[in-house]
Amino acid sequence: MADEDNQCAHEICTCPTTEDAEYCSDHCKDADDQDLTEISCDCGHTGCGAAMAA
């Protein structure tokens, strides 16, 4: 799992980010901007949320 300082800011996402990025993907940024509630993250990265169920 990612260091908390470099973890995606989307509440349910477990993906790491780069030092200068708040979110791992546009999906996570948009989900937070739109105040979406998700059961599992759908960012599409391997090992995160919906990608794990596939």
What global pTM score does this model have? 0.75
Q: How far is CA 52 from CA 21, 35, 41, in A?
A: 23, 23, 10
Distance set, CA 42 to CA 26, 33 (Å): 11, 15
* Structural domain boundaries in the chain: 1-54
Q: Rounded CA gap, 30 and 9, in Å?
A: 11
DSSP state of 27: H
The answer, yes or no, to whether residue 3 has pLDDT greater than 80, is no
What's residue 51's pLDDT? Answer: 63
Say what the pLDDT of residue 13 is.
Answer: 94
Q: What is the pLDDT of residues 4-53, one digit of tens each?
A: 678 999 989 999 998 899 999 999 999 988 877 788 899 999 989 766 65
